[in-house]
Amino acid sequence: MIEEQDPQPMIEAMLDQLEHGSVAERRAAAYYLGESASEESIEPLITAYHDDKNRSVRQAAAYALGMYRAVDLALTKGENDRVVGLLEQVARGELGQRAPIGRWFRRILGLLLALVVLGGLNLYRDNIRVLLFPNLARDKVTIAREIDRWFTTVQNDVTALQNQFYSAISSGGQVDCTTFFNEPAPFPPLPGVDALTYPEFVSLIDRMNGVRSQYSTAKARFNAVCVDGNPLTSETAALALQEFVPTVPLALELKNELQTIIENAPTATAAPPTETSVPVEPTAAPAVVPTAEPPTVEPPTPGSSALGNSAPTAPNFAGESDANPARHLPALYAIIDNVTTARGASSLLLRYWQEVQSSGTTSGCEATRPSIPQNYIVLPEIDVAVSEELHQAVNLINIGLNALRDGWREFQTACDAGNMQGRVATGLPFAEAADAAFENAVPLLDRVGTGN
């Protein structure tokens, strides 16, 4: 009986030829190595597929890898019998010219046959794919930037919708149906090898798609007005805003997590400017330029109505050009403290309406009206240009302040009409929307303070 000739010397010669030979020699080596089913051929074939300067050599390498890939695809589909058949075809040379059976092929064929017998091939499928194709995963930073470009469009839509809901609160339910929305589809699952190589992206994409889903749910209310012609009231807009506001800091948190992955990736380079859709600016609101001392709010004169008379105070940075988002924190925290303390405008409005909701009456109609700080403007503007957290926090705070003004006017109207219980469904959403805006602004300000 003639013993089978050891193919290893020929494989080693072809590996050298694939790297150093002429175009024709490299092409022939790629075909041979693909037929050889040898373990050591995979990495050089991948290198040739990516890096060889000659197109025909790259195509030959792709064909060779396709022999392994055919097995990989069958593993992906759970076609156990087909896996074994493909491996036997490679061994007999039925996928091309006759192939010598390498030592690695004998080992992997024996392993796969054993797994099929045990009925457990699917349990090991993904690990085998990573073992066979470790370098077929894309570059980590490339994937991260692809996700970043998509999620930026989601963030823009979140901001645009938030501003439309606030506009509807202050305008009696009117929205701008010409507002541009990107409406991106959900980010698709990563291909198997990418997902297995970078599992941190799997969870991140899932949470980002969750933000998009929250946006889509809230957007249905906007569509009901602009597409279906259903009316939107100030009250339903306030309720929609209250439910949607927590999405803003969550989106920023996920964006920062993605940026951290890009910055910490071994091959990371300076990220190019992110392509965004049409910029979305917060709805303009009456504002004042901050002045020089921390806010001091004097108790209003009994019986007076001091809504909107107390301005936030902060250092005047109008003449400075260097970015420093943290310098606004004392004034912004002070605004939130002002309205959310036990006797603050937000706390009282919420408490009074909750009293009406539970008992049908409140003592708030006879109480002194609290003061409400004026809206905050960030100067110099470079501070919001370099800090999306500051931008969104100020936007939320100003939304909350405007909701308070509208809410207290609604409360006074109900008091004057003697119809508190009849108007609780109208007035309570303003208080709840304001409370949610202030609550969700705080973690954004905290991030500005820590620089994260």
54: Cα within 13 Å, side-chain hemisphere: 16
Question: What are the tokens at 19?
Answer: 């790297």
Question: Under a CB-based contact definition with an 8 Å cutoff, are residues 193 and 139 in contact?
Answer: no
The pLDDT value given to residue 211: 92
User: 188 — phi, psi (to 5°)?
Assistant: -70, 155
Beta carbons within 8 Å of 255's beta carbon, 6+ residues apart: 148, 151, 152, 155, 388
Among 143, 137, 396, 358, CA closest to 248:
396
Beta carbons within 8 Å of 218's beta carbon, 6+ residues apart: 161, 165, 240, 243, 244, 247
User: Which CATH architecture best describes the domain 8-132?
Assistant: Alpha Horseshoe (1.25)
Beta carbons within 8 Å of 277's beta carbon, 6+ residues apart: 152, 153, 156, 180, 182
How many Å separate Cα 368 from the centre of its chain?
Answer: 44
User: 166 — phi, psi (to 5°)?
Assistant: -65, -45
Per-residue pLDDT 10s for the chain (452 aa) are 334 466 788 888 888 999 888 988 888 888 888 777 666 777 788 788 878 888 888 888 877 776 665 555 555 555 555 555 555 554 444 444 444 444 455 555 555 554 444 444 444 444 544 445 555 667 888 899 899 999 989 988 998 898 888 778 767 788 888 989 999 999 999 887 788 788 889 999 999 999 999 999 999 989 998 988 888 887 788 888 878 888 878 888 888 888 888 888 765 444 444 443 333 343 333 333 333 333 333 333 333 334 444 444 455 565 566 889 999 999 999 999 999 999 999 999 999 999 999 998 999 999 999 999 999 998 888 988 889 889 889 988 988 898 898 889 889 999 999 989 888 887 888 888 888 889 888 988 998 988 76
User: 54 — phi, psi (to 5°)?
Assistant: -95, 130
Q: How far apart are the first and last CA of the chain?
A: 73
Question: Under a CB-based contact definition with an 8 Å cutoff, are residues 48 and 70 in contact?
Answer: no
Among 236, 437, 424, CA closest to 345:
437
Among 402, 412, 410, 409, CA closest to 433:
402
